[in-house]
Chains A and B, each alone.
Chain A
Amino acid sequence: MSGLQITGTKDAPSITLLPGSGKLEIQGRSFPEDSFAFYEKILEWINKNPGEFSNGVHVYFFLTYVNSTSAIMLSRMLAKLKEFAQGKTVKVAWKYYVDDESLEELGYKLSETSGIPFDFNPVNEE
């Protein structure tokens, strides 16, 4: 089974989903022209490979700008991962720049709406 690897661009994040690991990494800026189409590819992969997450899920986020439709699609993705984890552990690491209140706030909103406790990790810019 092949994983999912999408290279990041100036307006869309990189996505790495290693097969057999249950690990998903999403990093970068997320305001593509069509956030719906962009995240549908990931949701489609998740839907086709539910067994990948049946032993638990570990999601690692490190995002900067996230537009409102991307936020909705992230919410939808977290709900799907939680469903496929079938009661097993769902870990979400939410890394953001220490002064980026917008991203901190979004992390808390996504944690609350998904019902998944996030591990918040504010970092300083290099």
Chain B
Amino acid sequence: MEGNGTSTYDQWILQEYGKSRDRLSHQGEVLCQYAGNINQNLVVSISYMLENQLEQKGVGRSRISRLGYAIIECLQNVMFHASKNEDGFNQAFILISHSDKGYIIQTGNLVHGSLFESTKKVVAHISDTKKSTLEKEYYQMLEQGNVTTEGRGGIGLISLAMKKNHDMKFSVIENGTDHFMFIITLEMLY
């Protein structure tokens, strides 16, 4: 990312991270909060840490598994699609909170403006499509075995959005730079 300089983007990410953390902390207990580079090592660390934390709290396998699966998909989505700075790092955040209704996972990351239209298209499709239709699409992708290293066709997000107890929302925020902020909020109800 060039032009506005890395520090401007860092500040923007931290600002949104702060706002999101404040919102989630009012809704329940924040179990995990992180802002910085998201890579595969972090995906492994957070998934293991959360699993151990929840096991110690006596949470059942079903919930741990559902949450773990969602965390992995959300983080890997950031890993694959977030813009990288000149040092090769992405700037992103993840927050996971728990309330008496269930869990909330929120990720935020910067995406290059050239991907604005395609991102909005994916968002509109997932938001406007019935869960049963998304499930059919997921089955089709599974049946056809379509996957490439680059284009994953939104299968990770579809696999989360199609679940009946999941409510997935997206925010796309612009601030006049050549990047936009992409925020995913996944509410997993009991």
Contacts and interface: CB of A to CB of B under 8 A. Distances in A.
Given A11-B43, A99-B62, A100-B62, A109 B156 contact: no
- Among the interface residues B40, B47, B65, B152, which one has the most CB atoms of the partner chain A within 10 A? B65
A113 interface: yes
Contacts of B156: 67-69
Interface in B49-89: 60-62, 65-66, 68-69, 72-73, 76, 79
B44 to A, nearest CB: 5
Given A36-B148, A99-B60, A109 B139 contact: yes
Contacts of A79: 145
B153 to A, nearest CB: 10
A10 interface: yes
Given A11-B40, A69-B156, A71-B142, A102 B69 contact: yes
Interface residues on B, range: 20 to 34
B15 interface: no
A13 B65 CA distance: 16
B149 A65 contact: no
A36 B29 CA distance: 36
Contacts of A68: 73, 152, 155-156, 158-159
Contact of B149 (A34, A64, A67): A34
A94 interface: no
Contacts of A64: 65
Interface string B148-183: 110010011011000000000000000000000000
Given A10-B48, A67-B76, A73-B147, A109 B65 contact: no
Given A11-B40, A65-B68, A97 B155 contact: no
B143 interface: yes
A103 B142 CA distance: 15
Given A11-B40, A36-B147, 6 more contacts: A36-B148, A67-B69, A68-B152, A72-B147, A99-B60, A102-B66
A25 to B, nearest CB: 21
A34 B147 CA distance: 11
